[in-house]
Amino acid sequence: MVKVVVLGAGIGGLVVAKKIRQKLPAGNQVILIEKRLRQYFQPSLYWLMIGERKERDIYRNLAGVFPPGLEFIHDEALEIKPVTKKIILKNREPITYDILVVATGTEADPAVFPDLTGVGHNLHTLEGIKGLCAGLNIFTGGEIAIVKTSLPDLCPTALYEAAILLNSLLIKKGLKGQYQLTIYTPLERPLIEVSNDLNKCISKELDRHQIRVKTASQFESIDPAAQKLKFTGFTAPYDLLLYAPVYKGQTVIRNSELGDESGWMPVDPQYLYAANDLFAMGDSTIIKTPSGKYLPMMGAVTTLQKNIIISNVLALATGSLPDKKYKGYASCFFDVGAGQVKPAFSNFYHQKDPAYYFLPASRWWRIARRLIEYDWLRQGKPIK
């Protein structure tokens, strides 16, 4: 008998556990560990911001949705002991594994810039977006600052998409000409850490929406009393502050000494294993691509990696060698406002620079994005 354990039931982990349970012969054990039963779909936060979703529309509940034969443990994993193949849990006895899949994602580190939490609105959390919506109800104009605090960033395009949708919302509210929206990024060019092709496309969209970008802006601190942001070499005012937080690897990876200095787990870029019996995927990993850049942390990558993980775990569990390779492909849908979505198809393992291919923006592509949202939500129960 083989015991397969999956840590994390997010974009990748839940599907991986279900598919492995479905395809693995009877008599083998599959366990899924997740600390959160109620989950919201993070890519839909900006539709919530512009009023196209209610809070309950983006939630799913995992209670009671698991198929027969898939054991679910509602608990938090604290440490992985790879030598003894043991997982230390917060509220129950340790469990053992034969094959482990780590799909824990990443976590924010508010301790790096604690003053941001009480003053600004975190663009990556439900609480941050709800606070932003409340702030927009009383906003009458001024300086809007959107700060990328550090690298790597979760879903690198998200901050720019938020800026475009926010700009469209403010124009709809009748505030055109009464505010200046500025994005501050530590990069020399927007999204150049991902791809030069992506930089050109996003920069064109930002110009079209008259959104200013201040590059080479390394954030240092905030003065809430003076409403000023301090960057290396200059300061900037704000009346409304939005930000993408600093990220680090999940606690369980850092405690297990399986990750790098920031807590992300290095894995083989094609087979996605960190060891013969340990696989990892998505935002819990760090992968250097052939171009020298790092694979972005984004759900579009996880979506394609999960099929590789499923095949390779099943092969290993049934006595074969893993032979499926992740080839660096991903696709995503960038909301450019006015109900238009621009699709992008990427090859992150392109030798010289990650290659991006774009199709014209269309309302039809928004339907494709809604289907992705629907597919994620239907894996759980709706929140009433």
Which residue in this structure is represented by tokens 């990748």? 12
CB atoms within 10 A of CB 325: 15
Which CATH number is 295's domain given?
3.50.50.60
- In a 13 Å sphere around the CA of 364, the CA atoms on its Cβ side amount to 2
Kindly state whether residues 223 and 132 are assigned to the same domain.
Answer: yes
Which residue in this structure is represented by tokens 């995992």? 62
In a domain, 359, yes or no: no
Kindly state whether residues 92 and 13 are assigned to the same domain.
Answer: yes
The per-residue DSSP string of 302-323 comes to HHHHHHHHHHHHHHHHTT----
- Rounded to the nearest angstrom, the gap between the alpha carbon of residue 88 and the centroid of all alpha carbons in its chain is 25
pLDDT of residue 354: 81
CA distance 286 to 273: 12
In a domain, 305, yes or no: yes
* DSSP class of 220: E
Q: Which residues contact 80 (CB under 8 A, 6 or more apart)?
A: 7, 86, 87, 88, 100, 102, 252, 253, 255, 256, 258, 278
Give the residue from 292, 323, 354 where a domain finishes.
323
Cis peptide before 152 (omega within 30 of 0): yes
Owning domain of residue 74: 3-107+248-323
Mean pLDDT of successive 10-residue stretches along the chain, which has 384 residues: 96 96 94 96 96 96 92 97 96 97 94 91 96 96 96 86 96 96 89 77 91 95 96 97 94 91 92 94 93 89 96 96 94 89 90 83 94 94 82
Strands (E), 149-218: 179-184, 212-214
Kindly state whether residues 120 and 240 are assigned to the same domain.
Answer: yes
Write down how long the chain is. Answer: 384
In a domain, 266, yes or no: yes
| Residue 291, Cβ density class (10 Å: 0-12 exposed, 13-18 middle, ≥19 buried) | middle
Kindly state whether residues 259 and 316 are assigned to the same domain.
Answer: yes
Cβ-contact 217, 231 below 8 angstroms: yes
Kindly state whether residues 140 and 225 are assigned to the same domain.
Answer: yes
In a domain, 148, yes or no: yes
Cβ-contact 17, 103 below 8 angstroms: no
For the chain, helix (H) and strand (E) counts, in that order, are 9, 26
pTM of the model: 0.94
In a domain, 350, yes or no: no
Kindly state whether residues 224 and 264 are assigned to the same domain.
Answer: no
Kindly state whether residues 131 and 222 are assigned to the same domain.
Answer: yes
Q: CA 164, 168, 173, 176 torsion: positive or negative?
A: positive
In a domain, 254, yes or no: yes
Pairing outcome for strands 70-74 and 59-61: unpaired
pLDDT of residue 328: 93
Kindly state whether residues 13 and 90 are assigned to the same domain.
Answer: yes
Across the chain, what does the average pLDDT equal?
93
Give the residue from 193, 225, 245 where a domain finishes.
245
Q: Which residues contact 368 (CB under 8 A, 6 or more apart)?
A: 333, 341, 343
Instruction: Report in angstroms the alpha-carbon separations of 335 from 47, 291, 366.
Output: 10, 27, 8
* Two tokens, residue 171: 């124009």
* Single-letter amino acid code for the residue at 360: P
pLDDT of residue 52: 95
Kindly state whether residues 177 and 99 are assigned to the same domain.
Answer: no
Closest by CA to 336, choosing from 177, 206, 242, is: 206
CA distance 345 to 308: 18
Q: What is the pLDDT of residues 208-253, one digit of tens each?
A: 999 999 999 999 999 999 999 999 999 999 999 999 999 999 999 9
In a domain, 379, yes or no: no
Kindly state whether residues 17 and 132 are assigned to the same domain.
Answer: no
Kindly state whether residues 240 and 306 are assigned to the same domain.
Answer: no
* Two tokens, residue 150: 């550090």
Kindly state whether residues 218 and 180 are assigned to the same domain.
Answer: yes
CA distance 21 to 318: 13
The total number of structural domains in the chain stands at: 2
Closest by CA to 306, choosing from 277, 288, 280, is: 280
Closest by CA to 313, choosing from 71, 1, 5, is: 5
Give the residue from 285, 303, 323 where a domain finishes.
323
In a domain, 283, yes or no: yes
